[in-house]
Structure 1
């Protein structure tokens, strides 16, 4: 059964408020993570590279990466399913195969793919939660890295293994590593959602603390705009 968009938004805000009573909001709660031992070297000249990452509700993940130096643009969208069902009201059912994801377009001469993954695992979401993030439950909220090249796959696989061996989280990582088949932009009202709705309870409870944690943990990578 399809749920109206407004009803989905109301449910998410209500769930966020209830979840806040029993759990601290914000970042993943991991200890300080190591730099990736395997990474793609910084490019010698500027350009544009792309990373596609899924870490629960795309509002907050998009908001985090919009504050990372070297990132040019972040787009919220859907990956892992088919084009015909890449619509919010369908993806929210949890049965389309999609994950809410973001496409991070960045300058590979200023920031590496591995550094983006470190931010992703450190503050953008909790990679130890399986098929959920906080109050949002379902396959559409899973943790996933959609790698587009053999180099991205190599870096992601090594870093996940590195974090697991270091016992960086209190639970095993649930992050899935899968090849990128397609990315479908989300509806216009989802883009820059955090920027346009900074006082919404869901944003205040779950997403603004992530940005504060980004600034605290990564002062040299953080930028206001």
Structure 2
């Protein structure tokens, strides 16, 4: 991801235009996936799900606008606690993926709904170890189910999308079980909301949020 130290972020946030390899991919690749044929039973309790889909700024930004989502936290999943820091994860050698932990109310939005949004506008599930301008295993698309029920729904939905040839290329999204989540540094949290004019956000992440609003208006919250 094209980033710099926190002290420089404020200076760059005011830049109006910037060019990134792969800019606009989010808008071009948005595909409204069909609803999942399998859903979880509604328990009435808050649930947690973890998604990896490239830069966590945009993943967090999209899920923050989904009705029924209580919180979305950027972080790392897939590796050890000792390597869960931005500088180390950026090496691509820790096993971590930049991820977002989503706490949601299943009475308003269930896990299957979140998966549909994820595959439609959050990430291009056909890219291997990359998303747009970002490359490396830390930018892979992956699901980290927090329960056997979530795992069943995730595997069934990937199978459903594959059978329907929803995407022109095979789905590369991995399902990784029993992986802990570690929150990222404070300057990464709500980065999109706090830096709406940051060039990376404008070109790579804002189109994802716009696609959410367009494709899933009933799920939108401002």
Normalising by structure 1, we get a TM-score of 0.89
Aligned length: 212
Task: Write out aligned runs for 1:121-200 (5 A).
Answer: 121-200=119-198
Q: Select the residue among 98, 106, 109 that pairs with 1:108.
A: 106
Cα deviation for residue 26 of structure 1 reads: 1.9
2: CA distance, partners of 1:186 / 1:150: 26
In structure 2, what is the Cα distance between the partners aligned to 1:24 and 1:49?
Answer: 32
Shift of 1:27: 4.1
Q: Contact 1:28–1:121 (CA<8 Å) still a contact in 2?
A: no
Taking the aligned partners of 2:27 and 2:40, their CA distance within structure 1 comes to: 25
Distance apart, 1:25 and its partner CA: 3.1
Q: Contact 1:80–1:97 at 8 Å: present in 2 too?
A: yes
Query: Which residue pairs with 1:6 in the alignment?
Result: 5
Q: Which residue in the other structure is 1:37 paired with? A: 37
RMSD value, Cα = 2.0
**What are the Cα deviations for residues 22-47 of structure 1, in whole angstroms up to 9, with x where unaligned?**
x633246254311001111334x3x3
| Aligned mates of 1:80, 1:154 — CA distance in 2 | 19
For residues 62 and 6 of structure 1, the distance between their equivalents in structure 2, rounded to whole angstroms, comes to: 20
Cα distance in 2 between the residues matched to 1:28 and 1:96: 31
What is the Cα deviation at residue 5 of structure 1? 5.3
Moved over 3 A (4+): none
Q: Is the 8 A contact 1:28 1:124 kept in 2?
A: no
- Alpha-carbon separation, structure 2, partners of 1:30 and 1:38: 22
> Where does the alignment leave 5 or more consecutive residues of structure 1 unmatched?
none
Alpha-carbon contact 2:54-2:140 (below 8 Å) kept? yes
| Contact 1:27/1:124, CA 8 A, preserved across alignment | no
Q: TM-score when scaled to structure 2?
A: 0.90
Contact 1:28 1:126 in 2 (8 A): no
Asked if 1:25 corresponds to 2:62, the answer is no
- In the other structure, the counterpart of 1:72 is 70
Q: Deviation digits for residues 65-90 of structure 1, max 9, x if unmatched? A: 00000000000000000000100000
Residue 145 of structure 2 contacts residue 177 of structure 2 at CA under 8 Å; is this kept in 1? Answer: yes
